[in-house]
Amino acid sequence: DKLSCHYIGVEIQLMDNTITLFHCGLPKANIKLIPCLSNNNCGIFVVKMLECRSLGLKSMANINDETAMDLRSKLCCEIFDQFMDKDFQEGQRK
């Protein structure tokens, strides 16, 4: 068996008693998945899908292989702005 890394997102609605699984992977019968041509994009897809859900956005049509690199770049900048930039500035003052 081949071991691999794969990212999924799970939304659990306790009040509605539902679980929604977000992933792109091998298609199964009667399951609609986010289109994924490259297996390397599953992590960014899950992050953006969960972000859309947390913001209450219903459409995830723009999360696809064509936008994956742009999504990665934007997420990288957001992470840097939120965490690294502050640490970097504090390190420069010392």
* Domain assignment present for 34: yes
Q: What is the pLDDT of residues 55-94, one digit of tens each?
A: 888 777 778 888 888 988 888 888 888 887 676 677 666 6
Range of the domain at 65: 9-93
* Domain assignment present for 58: yes
Q: What is the pLDDT of residues 28-49, one digit of tens each?
A: 555 555 555 566 777 777 788 8
State if pTM tops 0.75: no
CA count, 13 A, side-chain hemisphere, 2: 3
Judged on CB neighbours under 10 Å (0-12, 13-18, 19+), 83 is exposed
* Domain assignment present for 1: no
* Domain assignment present for 49: yes
* Domain assignment present for 3: no
Q: How many domains does the chain have?
A: 1
Query: Is the model more confident about 84 or about 25?
Result: 84
